[in-house]
Amino acid sequence: MNLENLKKIVPDTSAIIDGIISEIIKENDLDYPEIIIPEAVVSELEHQANVGKPIGFKGLNELKHLQSLEYDGKIAIEFKGGRPKGYEIANAKKGEIDAMIRDLALNELATLITSDKVQSDASLAQGIDVIYLKPKVSLKELSLSKFFDSETMSVHLKENVPPTAKKGTPGNIKLTKLDESPTTYKELKRLTDEILELERNDSKTYLESEKDGSIIVQSREYRISIAYPPFSESYEITAVKPVIKIPLEEYGLTDKLMDRLTSNAEGILISGSPGAGKSTFVQAIAEFYSKDLNKVVKTMESPRDLQVSDEITQYSPLEGDMENTADVLLLVRPDFTIYDELRKSRDFEIFADMRLSGVGMVGVVHSTRAIDAIQRISSRVELGVIPSVVDTSIYIEDGEIKSVYEVSMTVKVPSGMEEADLARPVIEIRDFETEELKNEIYTYGEQTIVMDLDLVSSKDDSNHKTSVDKIAEAEILRKIKKIIPKSKVDVEIVSPERANIYINEKYIPKVIGQSGKRIAEIEQEIGISLGVEAIKHENEKKGKEFKVDVIETKKQVILDVGKGNYGENFDVFVDGDYLLTATTSRNGEIKIKKGVALSEIILNALDMDLDITAIKK
């Protein structure tokens, strides 16, 4: 292309970032051209640099280089046009700032230079003289690749720290130092610029996320996370690459499990701790469904880092929202969708919505126990629909399948409870191979309980309470504390059918309610009968430490040490630390005026759930 006759040039942001103007001047014998820099370009580059984006600094450096060329008498530079305002900034991704640059080129009768194909086409459509120059890409392979070998799973580069890598296979990973010399800021910055240059020009490199202090890029088989201040205290680059792809048959699945995956499992959770081999197994599942069962398989990933065959389409959050992705997939109607990974409540809700719409779903969840994946979804999805959402849970550890759970629902009395009127819907979690009942999930009062059946009959050495007793105590205590939040409450489980509540005598009528209505409502919600008695202080003996009942009124904070202690002296402690010594009133109370330091200390201690105790002197 002959560029020698260029007299007046308007570069857009892409041309400045890619250094195209400098190249044109260097490679062509231009006769003192006028370079008109749009103020919108300067504003955009300034914003990118302010939020720490490397391309912002790269563009500003190009402008500085052009200024040096003007100083040498090779070009003339002028800055024109308005800076973008709120509307243009808010709609930058829709082309408003690009439109400002085109308007300037049109008004100045200048040639617009760009490396943005859309900008070029839009300029041609408006009759603007435009030259599209695709940036030169000399980069064939990322410099990061030199740190990887056949055993490297991830590389960790941090400013002022020697580079390290995790090597091995799931379950057998070791952190290895790659060099004794620490990585410098300059090296990390160069790597970042290289990665972002590739992202702009390589169709297989995607910018998955870009925030203030964080960039995530998926470049072919590499997932690259870049962190820098203010998000992190120093510059850091982490690159992850899958080491191996294992076909499903090499996992040694039983015939029973293979039959389930082939014909019955449509709501599957794959769980395990980081580095356990979840992604490798999920990839095997995806390939099995796609190739062996001839199913249509899609993925939902953020970022897209699963290594799957070309037949499987990988989707990221559409317009930043995975719910939009789900809407598209519901129209596509795949046989199976891999959701990698379920983290936030909305992820679990989208997973459930798609499964209930008839799409086979495979979800990936971080967990350290086999039950954790089901427990996490039980706290986010209505209990009654869980068996329709999840039917199979597979736990991966050290690259192997350690356990497989089957999920179903029944109506029964939960294990550890006895009365027939306590029957309720219960989610049963059974070992798939042995059919042994491992966990139960059910509602108790307002709580969702995930009960480990191995613990139901176990006893606590200190108080001989079963796990069910502890849950009941906690639920009763929570409900009574709603009624008298500042008063001391003790709960004692007498039997599976009855519990006693001990509170300050003056609050008994408030808890029982008119004609016993309030306590009856609590009994119905909890499922056992309740007795209410006055709390008994063991404070008659001198030197005996005991917990104090705290009563808050509009004007006072009252420490109730019990009737019968008129005129006695007590030392008061907060969480074991001495607070004050005081003499009790006729009713066995120590009264402290609100607003003074002592009362604030006591009220703060209550909010922090610290013990308020006293000792008779």
Task: Examine the pLDDT at 588 and tell me if it is beyond 70.
Answer: yes
Pairing of strands 392-397, 447-452: unpaired
Residue 594: pLDDT band with limits 50, 70, 90: confident
What rounded mean pLDDT belongs to the chain?
85
CA distance linking residue 394 with residue 402, whole number of Å:
8
> Greater confidence, 418 or 211?
211
* Highest mean pLDDT: which range of 101-110, 144-153, 300-309: 101-110
* Highest mean pLDDT: which range of 7-16, 26-35, 532-541: 7-16
Is 167 in contact with 176 (CB distance < 8 Å)? Answer: yes
Pairing of strands 267-272, 360-366: parallel
Pairing of strands 111-114, 130-132: parallel
Task: Examine the pLDDT at 565 and tell me if it is beyond 80.
Answer: no
Residue 448: pLDDT band with limits 50, 70, 90: confident
pLDDT at residue 462, rounded to an integer: 44
Give the residue from 526, 438, 431 showing the smallest Cα distance to 478.
526
Is 198 in contact with 139 (CB distance < 8 Å)? Answer: yes
> Greater confidence, 604 or 465?
604
Task: Examine the pLDDT at 112 and tell me if it is beyond 70.
Answer: yes
Residue 26: pLDDT band with limits 50, 70, 90: confident
Percent of the chain with pLDDT over 70: 92
- Residue for token pair 């060329």: 69
pLDDT mean over 578-607: 84
CA distance linking residue 588 with residue 584, whole number of Å:
5
Residue 11: pLDDT band with limits 50, 70, 90: very high
Residue 616: pLDDT band with limits 50, 70, 90: confident
Q: Which two tokens stand for residue 313?
A: 């389409």
Summarize pLDDT for 292-345 with one digit per residue, the tens: 999 999 999 887 778 888 899 999 888 889 999 999 999 988 999 999 889 888
CA distance linking residue 605 with residue 253, whole number of Å:
55
pLDDT at residue 461, rounded to an integer: 44
In one-letter notation, the amino acid at residue 133 is L
Summarize pLDDT for 121-148 with one digit per residue, the tens: 999 999 999 999 877 655 567 888 889 9
Residue 543: pLDDT band with limits 50, 70, 90: low
Is 154 in contact with 178 (CB distance < 8 Å)? Answer: no
Pairing of strands 498-503, 424-431: unpaired
For 397, the 3-state DSSP assignment is strand
Give the residue from 469, 459, 471 showing the smallest Cα distance to 498.
469
pLDDT at residue 239, rounded to an integer: 92
pLDDT at residue 284, rounded to an integer: 93
pLDDT mean over 258-281: 90
Summarize pLDDT for 344-400 with one digit per residue, the tens: 889 999 999 999 999 999 999 998 888 888 988 887 888 889 999 999 999 998 888
Task: Examine the pLDDT at 445 and tell me if it is beyond 80.
Answer: no
Residue 540: pLDDT band with limits 50, 70, 90: very low
Is 90 in contact with 44 (CB distance < 8 Å)? Answer: no
- Helices 322-332, 345-356: crossing angle, 10 deg rounding: 10
| Least confident among 37-41, 183-187, 240-244, 567-571 | 240-244
pLDDT at residue 459, rounded to an integer: 44
Q: What is the 3-state secondary structure (H, E, C) of 272-293?
A: ECCCCCHHHHHHHHHHHHHHHC
Which of 390-408 are b and which e, b meaning 16 or more Cβ less than 10 Å from the residue's Cβ?
Answer: bbbbbbbbebebebbbbbe
* Highest mean pLDDT: which range of 278-287, 304-313, 473-482, 506-515: 278-287
pLDDT at residue 156, rounded to an integer: 95
